Amino acid sequence: QVQLVESGGGLVQPGGSLRVSCAASGSIRNINVMGWYRQAPGKQRELVAQITSGGSTNYADSVKGRFTISRDNAKNTAYLQMNSLKPEDTAVYYCNLRQSVVSYWGQGTQVTVSS
């Protein structure tokens, strides 16, 4: 079993920055993919960014150039640095870890972009 704990969400003004973290613990394999998804009210959950254990990354078009995903394999922790935040980035951000055919989710952290 794997547990994911997110932290770092909050309220930020448009144009501001925020970093969220996801700490994984439990039965973690060397090869996995960690990612961030988000879900705004009334919308479906969508992929924001993901990173493999080898460091390959993938981003949603809406966040390219503004968000950066990274990870520290020694700490089993993934980060999402969010810059130039927009009101439309407001959502609950969920951490995901996928290894083999199993996917694990964190409890989510609220990110609100508002003046």
Residue with token string 């479906």: 44
CB-neighbour burial class of residue 32 (10 A; exposed 0-12, middle 13-18, buried 19+)? buried
Q: Tell me what the mean pLDDT of segment 36-55 comes to.
A: 96
Matching residue, tokens 């090869």: 31
Candidates 57, 22, 54; CA nearest to 38 is: 22
In this model, does residue 30 exceed pLDDT 90? Answer: no
pLDDT score at 31:
86
The per-residue pLDDT of the chain, averaged, comes to 96
113 has a pLDDT exceeding 90: yes
pLDDT at 88: 97
Here the tokens at position 79 are: 């980060």
Q: Is residue 79 very low, low, confident or very high in pLDDT (cuts 50, 70, 90)?
A: very high
